[in-house]
Amino acid sequence: PPPSEIADLLTFLDASPSPFHAVASTVQRLEAAGFTALDERETWPRTGRHYVTRGGSLVAWALDDPAQLDEGFRLVGAHTDSPNLRIKPHPDVLRAGYRQLGVEVYGGALWNSWLDRDLGLSGRVTVQVDGDPGEPVGTTTRLIRIDRPLLRIPQLAIHLDRGVNENGLKLNPQQHLVPVWGLDHEHGHSAHNAFVDVLAEELSIGAADILAWDIMVHDLTPAALLGRRAELLSSARLDNLLSCWAGQEALVHAVTGPASLPCVPVICLFDHEEIGSESATGAAGSLLPTILERVALAAGADRDAWLRTLAHSRCVSADSAHATHPNYAERHEPNHHITPNAGPVIKANSNVRYATDAESAGWFKVLCDFEDVPTQEFVVRTDLACGSTIGPITAARLGIPTVDVGVAQLSMHSARELCGAADPAYFVRALTGFFRSA
């Protein structure tokens, strides 16, 4: 069996098929460690170990003594969303005798990776609830998760596309990524109610009570160790649930350690990173700056003290990194090959697609050396475009030194991704040390 720490990561990955489930899974772990929820609409206490959730995002912190603000915040930022396929508002499709569901591509998904997989459904549903007599109908939101094989996107047989292996697979997302979920036994009757009926049955409510949904498909294959010596880890959503798990594990380790914390440890798990972070729950919004300021003000800080706290603060933007692909080694920068199980990857880009600079790279290297954690350094080939993270956004919003770091992986943005089995523990150790650092 896998070591307990990796077994826990596998459990977390399997329990978190959507951003909303990832937040719910994190909440369970934080509450077991003594964290309590706060309502953004209420007055906040002076100190404590708390968290705030908003949709698919969560911010948690530990402030046992207002004096911790003198050393600033230690932020670990990650994101709960992953590229996938999401159900349209009117999804029921009848075509060539099949019942299908209309989906929209979310983020930069590798489309072909979703073909020929058994798929379930997960997300949240907004339903109406009866109010008091004479009062308007209210609403509530409920999580939903269907882990049985409901959907599949069958690939066209090679007999009908003889050149596919030589010419490459070409997909039109509107035409070719429409999952099948049954046959048209009813000859077109109730074509526009089938999906709602399934949701209503799962939630044990009337179909008329369903108002809207944020629902996505997910691969049903469980996370698992892989390889001759089980040295690799295969799972959906490693980008970026692995970082979410590492952040909350490090936070719990830090607050349950024997020594008092010199600073204020914070995890911020955002939704919508894969589509640019411009949302009420994304890193480009006001969620994090507002919460941090409220933490400082509730602890007795004035405006000047709040700004001084920011000046003492640092951030680790925790997001997956590209491992060097053995079959495409020429796509990687020759002097910066990245290996699984060789420690966290510090990501740099001169055009600030990553927030790392010489200062932040330096203090992270010193930290990892102290914690006996190896590090690697990544830059993208000069003739290739570079991806980005929440790092530059957070650095710009808060004006604090930020380093972009992540676990190396292959198949990024695939329905199924691959990383080293030793790297998650390295990452937790480094982030725990970061939370405990002055």
Band (187; pLDDT cuts 50, 70, 90)? low
Report d(CA 169, CA 131) in Å as an integer: 53
Q: Which one has a higher pLDDT value, 129 or 222? A: 222
pLDDT tens digits, 243-262: 999 999 999 999 998 778 99
pLDDT tens digits, 340-365: 999 999 999 999 999 999 999 999 99
Judged against a pLDDT cut of 90, whether residue 44 lies above it is answered with: yes
Q: CB neighbours of 376 closer than 8 A, spacing ≥ 6?
A: 321, 338, 339, 342, 343, 344, 345, 346, 408
pTM more than 0.85: yes
% of residues, the chain, pLDDT over 70? 98
Q: Which two tokens stand for residue 326?
A: 């053995």
pLDDT tens digits, 13-39: 999 999 999 999 999 999 999 999 999
Residues 30 and 51 sit within 8 Å (Cβ to Cβ): yes
Write down the pLDDT at residue 438.
78
Residues 86 and 106 sit within 8 Å (Cβ to Cβ): yes
Least confident stretch, 33-47, 66-80, 119-133, 394-408: 119-133
How large is the average pLDDT for residues 153-167? 96
Report d(CA 410, CA 329) in Å as an integer: 12
Band (191; pLDDT cuts 50, 70, 90)? low
Band (2; pLDDT cuts 50, 70, 90)? confident
Write down the pLDDT at residue 105.
98
Judged against a pLDDT cut of 90, whether residue 395 lies above it is answered with: yes
How high is the mean pLDDT of the chain?
95
Report d(CA 330, CA 225) in Å as an integer: 28
Write down the pLDDT at residue 49.
97
Q: CB neighbours of 341 closer than 8 A, spacing ≥ 6?
A: 231, 420, 421, 422, 423
Write down the pLDDT at residue 91.
96
Write down the pLDDT at residue 170.
95
Write down the pLDDT at residue 299.
97
Write down the pLDDT at residue 85.
98
Write down the pLDDT at residue 189.
58
Q: Bridge-partner residues for 141, per DSSP?
A: 126
How large is the average pLDDT for residues 72-101? 96
CA 419 to chain centre: 16
Write down the pLDDT at residue 1.
65
What is the SS3 assignment for the chain?
Answer: CCCHHHHHHHHHHHCCCCHHHHHHHHHHHHHHCCCEECCCCCCCCCCEEEEEEECCEEEEEEECCHHHHHHCEEEEEEECCCCEEEEEEEEEEEECCEEEEEEEEECCCCHHHHCCCCEEEEEEEEEEECCCCCCCCEEEEEEEEEEEEEEECCCCCHHHCCCHHHHCCCCCHHHHCCCEEEECCCCCCCCCCHHHHHHHHHHCCCHHHEEEEEEEEEECCCCEEECCCCCEEEECCHHHHHHHHHHHHHHHHHHCCCCCCCCEEEEEEECCHHHCCCCCCCCCCCHHHHHHHHHHHHCCCCHHHHHHHHHCCEEEEECCEECCCCCCHHHCCCCCCCCCCCCCEEECCCCCCCCCCHHHHHHHHHHHHHCCCCCEEECCCCCCCCCCCCHHHHHHHHCCCEEEEECEEECCCCCCEEEECCHHHHHHHHHHHHHCCC
% of residues, the chain, pLDDT over 90? 93
Write down the pLDDT at residue 259.
79
